[in-house]
Every structure is written in structure tokens, then in C-alpha cells.
Structure 1
């Protein structure tokens, strides 16, 4: 039945060219006309047969409902926002499932961090209590479910839910000076975590990282708002080569109320990229040197003694991931690119490698976990081609691998706690997300949970350009590419070429997955007479570490060479007008589009750069130095590939866009680029969106921005 449904959907998509009535508009896209339906905040319960979903109901209430994996039937409503007189924006369940954190309000700080208003609901008595009168950060239950820790004003606290006693763990936190228990800006952005503390398995200790930001330079952004005077938002931001926060690892013992700094024996700058407890109570800490090419995996005993369990090195850099699972005997699973591809390895409890579990010229792209009962490891990989994702399981001995997913495209899995079932999310370039329940043993589909058939039917009213996947041989490499053509494409005519890319290290833009908002924009442009192409050049991901890391110390060199060479090769095709080739990108993609227009001024006639890095000296330490080392060590690498140093080469049409409150890629990048262009006497267009961050959104902002870019393309390409 499901297979037949997929065939029907594919037929509907292909036949759209016959039945479609109108082209897509920017307003359609960015008002959410083509938004897909999904599953909200799904969490498996301990029994492995039921899961929770946060539902937003038509009567404007929110409910946390329990469902049967097997039947999909709702078995109970645990919480109704109307009953507790609180909105529910998120929830966190204690490990014993007796307590639940209700997050009623959240205020965004940076990309991943929020201030949260939190209440605790006792699910056995239905008693609701406030965790704090204040908005707090990163709350978490202790493993025994009897306490909740959180961070407030840079200090760690925990509340005993039995006695309601509130204990302050640290007292030295000061804004823009010292942080305890949550990460600073650069760790949050580049190491992708915020909660920098962990409960020990026995709930008797809290390990945490402190960040001494005293010597980190400050960055200031003016916030214009609606008041008479603007005001500055000031925060610590270490740019490449500048001073980082000094980090330290601590353990706090609840019984004695004592805090102890862990001696890590380091005499050089380092990062603490992850901390995790093993089941036996040992704390594992992953430390990187500043160059990020040496990772030391430390074990820390409850008494604070530490030692290095193993060390991983790389000629370029070691990627930090969350792919670490401790087994009951203290051994652990870990992923590494040491053989040029990311694979799963088993280490013993002392940190000695026992075996490589997965092997092949493909990457493990997600590690889902380990089932102790079946002794099997579950993962997602690129075995069906680098633009696809499939689900597999394999024995702990690296044998008897099973493919669990059945369709070619992008499959991702959410497993039940006991690995009986998993919910598979499948999409492709022709199929919007379909959610199915599958048996984890062999991948067989049990039932369909949700689909997006209504979206497919809606798309019958629109002209939707299809992605044609292929490869293009550039500079000795077969690069992944997709192409969109007008519905009435005629190979005997000539068309302008519009290229889109991101191109950042390890990224992927060419993927066999459902359309995002920008894909619908590209479809709109294609059906207005443009050939739209996306190419993943050298430096992007999922073609091996050597392919990804070739750009080391020279960001923007090989990536730009590939886009320019691809534009020339495509421009030589009979149906492409080589005098009308444009390129655009956002963030790293904006850095790239700027460089392509300048360095490839005989190839590209126009470019749009949104929120671009224009000089790597302006960007943060962790990201930039991972790929470039420091400016002091690699001045030529920084300067030769930064667009700001090539403004004299500008010939084509250039649109430069930035948000004034971009805490990530600072508007400084655009302001300095503007000044360089002015002094080079080059004409260009630019736009600043007041108080908008790196995403440049809110209200009609996206509609305004994409209409501006659409008009620029029509006028100049």
C-alpha cells in the first residue's frame, strides 16, 4: 500500500507540468504556503512501546499526548495546557518518567541558547511548582529524578524537588567576565552545545566547564529598536588569532558542597569540546589543542584524578561529534575519519581500540545508538551514494550488516528506547516527508504515521521545476550537481545561468531530499527563464576526508576555482548564454559568491552575497583557525582569499546584504567591504536590514529580501 502511494505521488509530481496553473511567488514561499507537516517534539518512553508528542490543537491549547508505536492510537493525554494554566512550548521528561519539566516561555539568546520559564509537574500527583521565579538556562533533571540543575546569571544552581531546597553551586559568575555551566558565544556556535555541565550517574556530582572571558575582546552591536536612542549589545567574541576564554573543568560534590578543579596537566591553550559520564562514574572529557588537530580523550575519576585514555590526531583537524556511547562494561563506541571516511570504532574501557565496526568508501552520517540486547549498532550512512541517506544496523563485531531503509533518498530514524521500533522520515527531491513506523529488527514497515499528500495535491496548482541530479567533472573530480530548467525548456534556445552554492567545509547542498524554501525560489526563477544549478565543489562533505580537507589553510581557493571552472564548462553548452552567468550565496556562500565575481570577473556577470565573510580576520577563532590556523601563522592564506582584498577586480553587478544585528558574521564584514569598494570607485548595490541577525527574518523581512534579490537578478542577468 505504501509503495503504491509513493508511485502515485511520484506520478503527481511528474505530471505537474501538465496540470500546473501558475508560477510560484516569493509571497507563496515565505508565507509558508509550501510548509511540510511533521511530528512535534517526539520522545520515546522507557517501555519502548509508546512515545510522546507535543500537539498544538485547534482550540489553541497544547497537549502532551501518549501514543502506541504499534497502532498509532493515542493512549493518554499526560498534560493539557488548559489544565495547568500554562502554555507549553517544550517539555523534558525525567529518566524515571515521574517528573516533567514544562517550558512555558523561551527567549532566544543566540543560535542554540534560550532563557526559559520552567515549571515542574509531578506526573503522579499532578502537583505543579515553579522551578524559579526567573528565566533560567539549560535546566536538566538529575538521573535519580529528584533534583533539577540550571544556570542563572552565569552561576549553577540545583533544586531538590523533595525538600524544595535551592542550592547555589557556584558564586563567581559575572556577565562578560566568567561563565559557569553554559558555553560562551564561540563554543555555542562552533562546538554546537550550550549546556556545559553534566550530572554524574549516581546524581552525587555535577561536572562543569567554566569560561574566564576577562581577556576576550568585546564586540558591540547597536540595536536600533523603536526608542529615541539606540543602545549597544556587548558580548565577548574572540576573532581569529585573538584571546579565547580560559576554560577549566570542575567537579562539585553535592554531599559536601565542595567544588574541585580538575587538573588536566595542560601548559598550552586548549578547548574542552565535550564532557560525558560513563556508566561506571568516570567523567570523559574531550580536549582539543587550539589548532584542533590533536584530540585528547581524558578520563576523570570522582576524586578529580585525570589521565589521557587515547589521542586522535589529524594533519588538518579533528571533527568533534556527539558520536560517543558507553556500554555497560565501560567500553565505548566512537566515530572517526582516521581511514579517510567517518566510521564507527569500538574501544575498551581503558581507551584502547578493539576494532573498526564499519568499513567502506562511504561515511557514517548519523550514529543512532547501541542495543545491548541484540548487540547491534544502528546508524545512517551514504552507502547508496553521497547525495542519499540510508539506515543500517550491524553487529558489535562488525558483521551481519542489515539495510533497514528501503527507498532511495533521505532516510532518518528515531528509535524507541528499547530499539524495538523506529520512526523513519523519508523524503526525496520528488517526495515530501513521509513518516512511517518500522521494525528495528529488519526495517519492515508497520504503518504510515503521517504524510504530506495534501501538499502534493496543492502543488498541482503550481509550476514546480524538478531537480535533475548529475555529476560534472571539474579539476579532476566528479562533483555532485543538480539542475533546474524552465518548464518550457527548449535546447535550441539560450538561457542565463544562475548558480547557487554554500561550499563551506564539510557541507552539502546537493542532496536527494525534499525542497526547502529556497528550492521553491529556484523553481520560481527557473520558470521565469533561468537555468539554475547547484554544485558541491572541493571542501564540501561526504566524499571522504581528503576531498573535504583539501582546502586546509586556503579557504576560498579551491572552492572558488571549482565554481569558476564549472561556470565556464556550463557556459560552453549550446543552451546557456555564457555572457549571462550569475551566482549567489549566504554566509560562507556569500563569501564564495563575492570571490567568484571578483576572481572570476571574466566568467560571472553578477553576484548576490548575503551576510558574507569578507575577511577571515573578522570571523571567530574556533571556526576560522580550525581550517586556517591563526592569521599570525598564515597571513597569506587569510589575505589572498578574502574578497575585501580583490575589490579592484569588480566588473559585474554586485548586491551586498547584511543584518545589522548579526552576532555571527558581523555587519563589520559588509561595512568594511563597502568602504573598500567605494575607495576602489566601484559601483554596487547594498542593503542593511536593521536589528536582523544572521538569518535575516521576522515579519515581512524574508519576503522583502527575496523580492529584492529576484528583482536584482531580473535586472542584471
Structure 2
């Protein structure tokens, strides 16, 4: 039986299962380790090892063998952590290796496990409660892990398990990243080992000041609602502090001006110098890079960053091996800065730092927004691109070995290659992902005066000029996410939508990543204006490029999360352009979204209510003239279902017909096969009906 594309995409986690991930390279470059599922449809990640000299791949950890018939059980804390990181896989989803390359550790089914890498022996260690985010000390002697609000430690031999620091109230947690850090600052860790393995920096947070919201399960009214501390815009955040904790449980608070710099954004601790922090003000217009004297807890400001809009948290500050400070900062471009001097040229947008040396950094960077290359930037101004082509690359380095992950536009698929200094031909690590059922046919355009990167897809059987098709805009469109990338896999769903009888347009307007600081900050205080205007510009450019192939009297929009907000906004504000919309998990009232994200772009609703009113969908309810479908998971703890319910109530009060599709038990992600398949089919049916497709 033929499996539909939506079901296959859900089954394969959008064709990512079977691709090596969480790649690490041993310090001597001899061994590459990674998580990979056994095939393209099994969600259970295994830990693998690739011998660089021989090319032999070996399974180190198979969760099925370890757990047997009992299967995997996840704690509520682990489910929440995976929701924050958008993790849908099972089995091993993370692991850690010590700096000596002797030991690895991981959490599985709430238990702690250690791997002796030389003997390839896996052992379950004694642990207390549900194990969260274990990490080895760099010397390979101990493992620290979070559990039950405490940070605990145990020897790799299973001896001396104990709590280093424990909560003193029900609202206090040690060793984990708070909701805001994990959801909006891309910081998922809550503790960091000292290079000598004798102490740690540990986050402590207290959610007592944070409002309690309740996420109910309407399908099962006998169940109590889940209480959740949710820091909505304009309300109190958790109180976050950082402590230096010795193995004997001694602790010293790391001191900085918490009143001025509320957010702990980045932490790093390497052998090359004192620990480094990056802290951020609540309004995110000012940030400091601090060094820490762990003996006293005192901090010293090394770098001050400021912006009239917001300071973006990028790669964690770090030291070069010879002790110079490296940061990624914004001027005309995102640039690597060494001891206050930019060392990367204008025009290259640095996205991440792969490795830092005395004379250069290896980074991922773009000189064309849709492409991501691995580049060596010399501190003497030299630029050496280590990759090339219309593709998206990433890399991991260990000693003389570099592993490059590549996804290109010319074919669906990912390659993982191992490059060893002195060896001419790279080796390959096997990718066992499910083959895609088709290749997307993507045309890249530059729309309007701003050269908005725009991808256009027609049905694969479409003959140019044979018929004018309805247009389906398929954006994310907001800050922090880029859709138009030189990766064929990124357009599989867009191609499937096009094959249903649409010209599908994906456009990355102002505010999306890849174009530099000024571009990203153009939507400051103006989500509703800038991001919608750019979708209109992209539509007009496509219509001009394909006058005989698109029908602008039949235009729809569909999207999820920010894309859902933008889709609903399109039919509410521009019914002259957009004729139908499907809005999935839309933010409809920004006062209901979290502090860090929302205040970064729209300011504080307590002092700038007019900005929130101008960007809310609720006041626009009476303007609805076009068909609108709202979809929302009732278990969503990120964009809570109240967003859709409040807009629906406002539409009903205004007498405006609309469609609401509630998804029982579904969070902000929809990985379930049946749900994902039927959801897509219902959306397409709704769009085709109202666009006469």
C-alpha cells in the first residue's frame, strides 16, 4: 500500500531519521561518535562509533537491548525538556564524552548510563529520581546530572552518588535551564564542569515569582489540569542565579548586577581561561561579557554590547588557546571579534563558531543568505572556504579530523564526510534515512527592492503557460527561523503542497536570519506591518515572473506558529490580496506569549501597550471577510490554546464565520503519524475548496 507523503514525513520525522546527529570527534581525531537510528523510520537513536583509520562503524549503545520489553519511560521533566528543544526522537537523543576520550554517558528512560569506550562496555549507574542532562567531568572521573530539582554527582565506577546542591523549596531548581533560556535563548544546559573536574558552575532558578497557568485536557475532564509557571510578556521571570559549587557541596554565588542584567544568556568554561558569562538586560538592549573569579564569585566586565533595538545572543564567548577573547558581534554584519577587533570581513554573516585557534577561527557563515559554508577566517584577514556550492553545511572538529555535514539544493539527501589532515580523499559515514518519494523542483527568486529570497514551486507535472494556478504562500516569516535555504529536503512539504494544484511560494522577508543585523532588526515593534508587507512583495514578484502560470485572484496562506500568526493576519488585514488562510498554533495576542521573545521585538506591554495593540489579531476580528481555519493543539505549553480560543471568541462576537480545529493531546509539535496526515489533508481540502483549485 502506498503511504501518503504527510504520513511518510511524520513517520520519518521529515526524513531526518537515519541521519547521523550529535556528532563528536575525539581530541586525537581518531574516532567519530554520533547518534543515528538504525533506519529511516525507527525513532530510537543508537550511539555509534566510526574509526577514522579503518572506516569501520560500530554500535556502542542500542537502547532496545538495554531496556528490553520494558521500553522507554520519560519523566514529565524530560518530556518538557524535549518540547523546549523540539525533540521528537526516542532512545538516545543526547550523550556526553569526557575530554580524555575514555568515557561517555547518557540518560535513557530516566536512568543514568556510562560507557567505557575502550572496552565498549555499557553500565547502568545508581541514580536518584529521573535523570536529566548528564555530563562527564573533563577528566573522566565523575558524572553530574540533574534530578528532582537537585544537582547530583556520581563516580564513573558507580561509587559515591550524592547531591551536591538541593532545592530548599518546591519552586527552586538546580542544574537545569529555566523555561526562558531553553525556549528563547537557545541555552539548554544548567551546569558546567571546571576543566580540572573539581567543581562546577551551576544555575539555580526559582519560579516563585512566575504566574501559574493551567493547561487542561478537555478530552479527559476527570484529569486535573497541569500547572505550569509561564512568564507572559510584562510579567515576572524566574529568579536566575549562578553558583560555583565544589565537589564537597561548598558554594559561592557568582555576582553581577542582577537588577540591571536579568538574563543569563551564555556560559562557557574551558582550559584557556576563567569562566565566561554573557548577561543581558530585561529589555535586551544591553549585554555584558563577564569573566568569573571562581574563588570569590566576583565578575569583571570584558565587553559591553548595546543596540537601540536588541542585542542578539549568538555563539558563547570563548578564549583562544593563547588567551584572547572571541565573540560574535553585530555591526554591518555578524562578525567574529577578537579582543575588540573584528577579524571577519563585511559581507560574511557568521552563524556559529566551529573551533577556535591561536591564528584563526573555523565558523559556519554565509555570503549568500540561502547557503551556509564552513569557512576558516584567519586573524590576518584571510578567508578560506572549506566547503562550496548551493548547499547548507555544518562541521565538527577534533584534532586533525573535521566532519562535514552537507545538504544541497540539487538533490534530496544529507552526506556526512570525514576529512583527515594529510589524507586526500574523505571518508563517508553512512546515512540510512528513508529516500524521499520525489525531488523538489525549486526556483529561487529575489523579490522587490530588498531582494527578498523567495522559493517558488509548481506541480511537478505543470507545463509552463498551460494553466494559471492558485498561489499558496507558505511562510514562517518571523525572526529566528529561515525557510529559504539551499537544501532540497527543506522543500519536500512545499513540493507536496504544490503537487496538490498550487504554485507554492516560500519567502524570507525582513527579520528572518541570514541577511545581517540591520535586516533582522527591521521588524522592531512592527511584526504586523513589515512581515506581512514582505509576503505581498514576494507574491507580486512571483506574479510578474510567471504571468501565465499564477492567478493572483486566488491566493491563500498557510503556516504554523509565527507562520500561523502571519496567515491569520493576511486575511484579516489584506483581504484584497489573500483569499483564504489556514493558521496553525498562531500567536493571536502577544501579551499571552513569553517575556524574552516578545519583549525583545515589541517591548514591554506595561509601558508600550500601543505596540501590542498594533500587532495583535484580536482587534482585527471584525474585519474578517475571507475563510479562515484555526488549528491548535490543546496541550501546547508554548503557544497556549488560549490564543486561538480568544481570536475565535472575538470572531464569533463580531459575527464572523470561521473554522476551528482543536487537536486533543497535541503540543506545539505534531509528530503523530495519523494526526499529521489527516491534518495536512484537511488543510489542503479547505484551501482547495475556497480557491477553486
TM-score normalized with structure 1 length: 0.86
Q: 2:272 touches 2:319 (CA, 8 Å); kept in 1?
A: no
Residue number in structure 2 paired with 1:189: 183
Structure 1 residues 360, 42: closer, same or farther in 2, change over 3 A?
same
Q: 2:107 touches 2:131 (CA, 8 Å); kept in 1?
A: no
Q: Does 1:678 align with 2:652?
A: yes
Q: How does 1:245-644 map to 2 (within 5 A)?
A: 245-255=238-248, 257-268=249-260, 270-279=262-271, 282-303=274-295, 304-337=297-330, 339-347=331-339, 353=340, 355-371=341-357, 375-383=359-367, 385-399=368-382, 401-415=383-397, 417-439=398-420, 445-450=425-430, 455=435, 459=438, 464-473=439-448, 476-486=449-459, 487-491=461-465, 493-516=467-490, 519-568=491-540, 570-571=542-543, 573-644=547-618
Provide the C-alpha distance between the structure 2 equivalents of 1:690 and 1:711, rounded to a whole number of angstroms: 21
Provide the C-alpha distance between the structure 2 equivalents of 1:388 and 1:582, rounded to a whole number of angstroms: 28
Provide the C-alpha distance between the structure 2 equivalents of 1:70 and 1:343, rounded to a whole number of angstroms: 36
Provide the C-alpha distance between the structure 1 equivalents of 2:9 and 2:481, rounded to a whole number of angstroms: 24
SS at 2:488 equivalent? coil
Q: 1:157 touches 1:168 (CA, 8 Å); kept in 2?
A: yes
Q: How does 1:134-149 map to 2 (within 5 A)?
A: 134-149=129-144
Provide the C-alpha distance between the structure 2 equivalents of 1:34 and 1:148, rounded to a whole number of angstroms: 34
| Alpha-carbon offset, residue 409 of structure 1 | 1.8
Structure 1: which 5+ residue stretches go unaligned?
1-21, 106-115, 348-352
Provide the C-alpha distance between the structure 2 equivalents of 1:24 and 1:469, rounded to a whole number of angstroms: 27
SS at 1:292 equivalent? coil
Provide the C-alpha distance between the structure 1 equivalents of 2:265 and 2:646, rounded to a whole number of angstroms: 32
TM-score normalized with structure 2 length: 0.88
SS at 2:552 equivalent? strand
Provide the C-alpha distance between the structure 1 equivalents of 2:505 and 2:9, rounded to a whole number of angstroms: 19
Structure 1 residues 530, 441: closer, same or farther in 2, change over 3 A?
farther
| Alpha-carbon offset, residue 576 of structure 1 | 2.5
Residue number in structure 2 paired with 1:42: 23
| Alpha-carbon offset, residue 25 of structure 1 | 4.5
Structure 1 residues 406, 77: closer, same or farther in 2, change over 3 A?
same
Q: Deviations over 1:80-119 (max 9, x none)?
A: 66886778625432222333324332xxxxxxxxxx3212
Q: 2:278 touches 2:317 (CA, 8 Å); kept in 1?
A: no
Provide the C-alpha distance between the structure 1 equivalents of 2:102 and 2:649, rounded to a whole number of angstroms: 60
Structure 1 residues 34, 599: closer, same or farther in 2, change over 3 A?
closer
Q: 1:376 touches 1:394 (CA, 8 Å); kept in 2?
A: yes
| Alpha-carbon offset, residue 32 of structure 1 | 3.8
Q: Does 1:69 align with 2:52?
A: yes
Provide the C-alpha distance between the structure 2 equivalents of 1:484 and 1:181, rounded to a whole number of angstroms: 46
Structure 1 residues 394, 70: closer, same or farther in 2, change over 3 A?
farther
SS at 1:287 equivalent? strand
Residue number in structure 2 paired with 1:5: none
Structure 2: which 5+ residue stretches go unaligned?
72-90
Q: Does 1:201 align with 2:195?
A: yes
Structure 1 residues 266, 325: closer, same or farther in 2, change over 3 A?
closer
Residue number in structure 2 paired with 1:154: 149
Q: Deviations over 1:355-375 (max 9, x none)?
A: 321112230122211245xx4
Q: Deviations over 1:143-194 (max 9, x none)?
A: 222222111211212224468223322233544x222221222221011223
Larger CA deviation: 29-38 vs 405-414: 29-38
Bigger radius of gyration among the two: 1
SS at 2:506 equivalent? strand
